[in-house]
Amino acid sequence: MLPRHFLSKTDTVTRPWLDPACPAAVSALEHDPFYAYISAEFGADPMRRRSALAAYFDYSIRQGAQIGRVVHLEEADIGVAVWLLPQSDDVQERERLAPTLAEADAAMAVCYLETFNPRSLHFYEHLGFVTRAEFDEPATRAQYTIMVRAPRNNPGDRDRRYRDNVTDGS
């Protein structure tokens, strides 16, 4: 369920403070089972539901910009990608993720990800991620995994202090 702060009585999908891609994200994802579930309390009022989802997407895009990658299409109001996950070719995907992981390493930042694809766990493990928890997503009942990755001092050596904190729950 969406927290109340995602919606005020005057919000609309086109509020100027929203990321320009929010209306497109709402149109594309409002019927997705996960987003339908988290906005169910607004189901009787489609405009309030769309407004709540727009605020949620705005928040997600801003978080992605702070701690990951956000890529807007040339016309920012027609689409956005927030952190691209590997799909098929591991080598190509490693190359796509390398700049972001290098930035995280330079900042000594711990990274995390969520994946619904158990086949991608091995791929992420090769990048230094370890499984931290597994959950069942309530709307779709699909299992997802949360993984974390400690920063590395150099490409072949992880900093032990951070690795220990990531893997032991500290």
Residue 166 has pLDDT above 80, yes or no: no
Banded pLDDT at 88 (limits 50, 70, 90) = low
CB 27, CB 54: distance < 8 Å? no
Mean pLDDT to the nearest integer, 143-154 = 86
Fold of 90-168: Aminopeptidase (3.40.630)
Domain with CATH 3.40.630.30 in the chain: 90-168
Count of C-beta atoms within a 10 Å radius of residue 75: 10
Banded pLDDT at 92 (limits 50, 70, 90) = low
> Rounded CA gap, 168 and 170, in Å?
6
Q: What is the mean pLDDT of the chain?
A: 77
Per-residue pLDDT tens over the stretch 17-40: 689 999 999 999 888 888 888 888
> Model's pTM, two decimal places?
0.45
